[in-house]
Structure 1
Amino acid sequence: MEQKTPLYERHVAAGGKIVPFAGWLLPVQYSGVIAEHKAVRSACGLFDVSHMGELVLRGTDALANVNRLMTNDFSGMYEGQARYSPMCYEDGGVVDDLIVYKVSDTVYFIVVNAANKEKDAAWIREHLTGDCAMEDWSDRVAQLALQGPRAEEILRKLTSDIPEKNYSAVLRGTVKGMACMVSRTGYTGEDGFELYCAPADAPALWDALLEAGEPFGLIPCGLGARDTLRLEAAMPLYGHELSPAINPYEAVLGIFVKLEKPDFIGKAALEQARPISRRRVGLKITGRGIAREECPVYDEEKQIGVVTSGTHCPWLGQAVAMAMVDVAYKEPGTVVQVDVRGRKVEAEVVKTPFYKRT
């Protein structure tokens, strides 16, 4: 049976179209995916992301464990700093991609994908060593995402606890009197914030943000726009561009793999993983059609890859896709064909992200 976030009643009251997603009942849209997508690009959108998982590592060996579990290096962080990282299996395939916040020298706060929460928690718990314990805080935390170029103006009406740098957080802030962790992060390609609060405070926080944001064009947004926005910004999604069968180099996330670290799970396999034979690329669909996940990619009669995500991007007015293809076809300008329901549609390899905010 699907779970409801603390904001479920707000979504229903606002006319959100509720769908099951990763074991949760969430709005896929309110006013429509296109309108919501454009609002985030031009003004601001508010998302309920309370379905995400939150895990805490605590102990004198917390940092050593984070560094052993993740491919990125978490040494030398300041309190409130966040870093993105894949977490890999021994063979280099990806368990999940996540964000880690340093709370203190002995406490790290980890945000994981909703569908992977149980798997991630079990994997982490299984591999802890020394003085370090894991706590699952998922039921103790609600998360709202305020995303778009007007996000900071809106948030400033409710708090002065604004992190200045991307991938940093005010750990113990307040928003309209409610205790919040305020993080300058997001999954849309825009400036924005992710607000972590007690579940009981989530409805009041939601209402306060919508009221403060109304003059700026803020609207509630659903899962549909969240997906088109992240795809337009060429951000990978677990289960699509990342999986146990895809390693970070193939996903073009090599910048987050720090082989100079003494050791981490999957290091030996990743040391042997290059040169890679396939990699993630961006495709601009130049023919008529929209490429979707699992559409085969061809060079004439030879299949050279498969689409991992695809859509028509509302802001760009262009059908695009991400695909995993043979490395011989990775250069921008390369012409390929995508099989869209039995019909070959022409496409061109292009640089990513497709959209980048100025």
Structure 2
Amino acid sequence: MESEEDWLVESLRLYQDFYAFDLSGATRVLEWIDDKGVFVAGYEGLKKNEILHLILPLRLYVNENQGLFPERDFKVRHGGFSDRPVFDLKHVPSTRLLVTSGLPGCYLQVWQVAEDNDVIKAVSTVPVHEKEGTLWPRVAIFSSVAPRVLHGVRLSSLEIVDLESLKTAYTSGVSDNEELSSLQVLDADTFAFCCPSGRLGLVDTRQKWAPLESCSPNLGSGGQRWCAEVGDKGQGLGSSIASLGSNGQLRLLDPRNLCHPMSSVQCPVSIPSPNPELLRVTWAPALDNCLAISGFDGTIQVYDATSWGGIGSQVEPLFIHRGHVFIDGNGIDTTPLVTTHTWHPCKPRTLLSATSNASLHVWDWVDPRASR
């Protein structure tokens, strides 16, 4: 196995930039507010959890070739405390509002980031009518003149609520009790859902519930669980859906034909995900056809999906971030698990990643193909 010393030497070639930080508590959320600010929030039980608005190190958001920078750390811009674990946090675009979800899952909490001081304070709650002891509502935001929050524990409890009036604007109106693993707003009228079974659907809120769905609702048989993300329409592949299973299977689907994946590949993960709730697949917003996966161990794997095709093939990552293994875990068996990662909204190869031991990395990876 590669030693920490070897990796540290190799990292000089692997990264354009690399920063490692320690948070006060582990986080499962990394939510951008612009290209230089990010929200994190703790998820520990039986304690107050911090919600922080952090500003990235100066070097990461100024123009190139500006010389040396004295500030090489995050700055805390705003902060607050949640009385419960935060499993999901969404910023409402063009506002100073945040929406959080966690356990107990009987409500969502709405927060406001102060303009004239450094406080993040709770301002209201959104009731969740379906009470689930161990499940929490998945959340997504419709941004418009009157922003709305989409939330649900199961397909049957999906609803859209106006954040100003707190009135319900849409409900699924079905008795389907399948659990949700993720929700994603696509535009002003449509959203996507994914279930742990691998079931996918696209919903048009202007119509009665009739989602465009995948044809294989039993993909999760045998204990495998799934998450998914729809790629931005600017992707080279067009608007594609990446669906990741807890054993490392990764499927790419065309939203117009969810019954027949364009490709289904096997990623070289060390073990099945020890906590499928932490599975994450993300499309790069500023790099065509690239995506990243995490939630299996202490690494994040980056792939170029340009040439993928067919069913059942093995693929190799374009890049693997092992910094959490060698810096946070010192390369030993107790390596922390990656809890989440996110791409920078406009710097093509910059990602943030966090782990279960409260570390936070910012890294700009070098494309290995550039040196060939």
TM-score (norm 2): 0.23
- Greater fraction of residues in strand: 2
Relative contact order: is structure 1 or structure 2 higher (C-alpha 8 Å, sep ≥ 6)?
1
Q: Which has the higher helix share?
A: 1
Q: TM-score scaled to structure 1, two decimals?
A: 0.23
